[in-house]
Amino acid sequence: MNVQISSTLTAAEKSLVDHFDKISADLPGSGQAWIDDVRTRAIQSFENSGLPHRRLESWKYTDLRGILREMPAPAQNSQAPVLLEQDGVDAHTAFSSVDRHLGVFVNGFYRPELSSLEDIEGVEIIKLRENFDDLPDWVQEKLCNSKVYENNAILALNTAFAADGAALRINRGSKIDKPIHLAFVVTGKEACAINTRNLIIVEEGAEATVIETYVGPPDVAYVVNTALELCVAEDAVFNRIKVQDEGHDAVHLANLIVSLAGNSKCHDLTLSVGARTSRNEGQVDFTGENVEVTISGASMLRGKQQGDTTLCVTHGLPSSNSRQEFKTVLDDHARGIFQGCVIVKPDAQHTDGRQMTQALLLSPDAEMDAKPELEIYADDVECAHGATAGDLDEDYLFYLRARGIPEDQAKALLVAAFVAAPIEEVQDEGIREALFQLTNSWFDRRNSEA
């Protein structure tokens, strides 16, 4: 039987298993029974499933097995100097004017000399690689939880390979003075695979904002696999802003696992402009009532980029509000995918669940696949969803041009306007401006990169 299973693995899948055999003994923390066990079980889980492919319902539009023909070797922890800020606007440079605590990961490894994460009042920060031999219980407990990667091959791979990442615990009642920015930077000309695992625990009544950015070189076929487990306790408020601006030959795979306790508030926004293929997958669960959560995003894609957002929000308890709001701009042959699921279980009365996905297609060859899924088993709930796709409004364009704004500039304004709504909701003005800097320049970047 074993022989048969392994014979069906593709070259990329085989090399993933081979890479694990080669490097597992060198992974940080290796030799401790618990982590060896976690990693071995994760790679076995992957061996059984292989890479996700189009015959799986949730991967119908992103055939990863077909897309990932080759799998580069895991990245090495090099100490090569890195130029963080670029001349053009990228996700890292855009945030450089935001007053924030900065943690920089280069090719997946934490670089203290580029970072300023020490001594933030109200936050404990554990860098995984440095501390793998002596991880606190609150981190170890989460890493041991195999439930999160059941039926999720990407998360299983992340669990097996993750060599570094940050674990943040925002202490009870603490309001963090400024945003914490985790910057994931890829450098070098060699393709590599980067696996980072992050954990954020927001304790009772605490408040924090975390920014994640992903940037990398334009012509290198690297593969990023990143995961964040987020637990927000009672009465806590958490904001997360993620910008995926990977190089245009890269593959970016991300998992977000969220658990929200009673009376907590969580606002999440992802801006995706990079990568050849990207997948942002999220699952949100509630462990209490009266939760308010927004999972939102904007994707701006061109060329042959493909961007997939797949979400599942499960209301298992009463009286919570969830909103999903996504905007996608597609040019050239780009393809956008939105799969948004809202499940309202029988006990989740008085749920308010809303979902909206809107796409703007700038080219006849662009494609948007939107698949809203609502499963409602409770009778006293309010749920609404909508999906639209269209091209630029000619009347808008005429109005702007009739005031002397040239066509390209008018289009750039309208494209930026299309994605503005979810960004307007970001509370921090500096972060909002940084995001607008990226969306406002997208149309011009298109012209310069074309």
Partner 1 sequence: MLEIKDLHVEVEGEPILRGINLEVSPGEVHAIMGPNGSGKSTLSYILSGKEDYDITQGTITYKGKDLLDMAVDERAAAGVFLAFQYPIEIPGVAAMTFLKTALNAQRATRGEEELSTPDFMKLVREKTKELNIRQEMLRRSINVGFSGGEKKRFEILQMALLEPSLCILDETDSGLDIDALQIVAEGVNRLRDPKRSMIVITHYQRLLNHIIPDKVHVLSHGKIARSGGKELALELEQNGYAEYENNTADAA
User: What is the contact surface with partner 1 in residues (CB under 8 A)?
Assistant: 395-396, 398-407, 409-410, 413-414, 416-421
Query: Closest CB to partner 1 among 219 and 429?
Result: 429
Q: How far is the CB of 432 from partner 1 (least distance, A)?
A: 13
Long-range contacts of 365-369 (CB under 8 A, 24+ apart): 365/332, 365/333, 366/330, 366/331, 366/332, 366/333, 366/334, 366/335, 366/336, 367/330, 367/334, 367/335, 367/336, 368/328, 368/330, 368/335, 368/336, 368/337, 368/338, 369/61, 369/335, 369/336, 369/337, 369/338
Q: How far is the CB of 395 from partner 1 (least distance, A)?
A: 5
Q: How far is the CB of 405 from partner 1 (least distance, A)?
A: 5
Q: How far is the CB of 239 from partner 1 (least distance, A)?
A: 21
Query: Closest CB to partner 1 among 113 and 395?
Result: 395
Query: Closest CB to partner 1 among 37 and 407?
Result: 407
Instruction: Please count the residues of the chain.
Output: 450
Query: Closest CB to partner 1 among 311 and 419?
Result: 419
Q: How far is the CB of 112 from partner 1 (least distance, A)?
A: 40
Query: Closest CB to partner 1 among 130 and 407?
Result: 407
CA 185, CA 403: separation in Å to the nearest integer? 42
Residue 355 host element (H or E): strand 352-361
CA 443, CA 384: separation in Å to the nearest integer? 32
Q: How far is the CB of 369 from partner 1 (least distance, A)?
A: 24
Nearest of 242, 183, 185 to residue 209 by alpha carbon: 242
Query: Closest CB to partner 1 among 380 and 395?
Result: 395
Give the sheet arrangement for strand 382-390, strand by strand: 109-110, 101-106, 180-185, 207-215, 237-245, 265-272, 292-301, 321-330, 352-361, 382-390
Q: How far is the CB of 130 from partner 1 (least distance, A)?
A: 44
Beta 109-110 vs 101-106: how paired, if at all? antiparallel
Nearest of 276, 253, 249, 245 to residue 435 by alpha carbon: 245
Which residues are CB-neighbours of 102 under 8 A, at least 6 positions away?
Answer: 114, 115, 116, 117, 181, 183
Query: Closest CB to partner 1 among 78 and 427?
Result: 427
Q: How far is the CB of 17 from partner 1 (least distance, A)?
A: 48
CA 270, CA 7: separation in Å to the nearest integer? 38
Query: Closest CB to partner 1 among 228 and 438?
Result: 438
Which residues are CB-neighbours of 414 under 8 A, at least 6 positions away?
Answer: 392, 393, 396, 397, 400
Query: Closest CB to partner 1 among 364 and 404?
Result: 404
Q: How far is the CB of 400 from partner 1 (least distance, A)?
A: 7
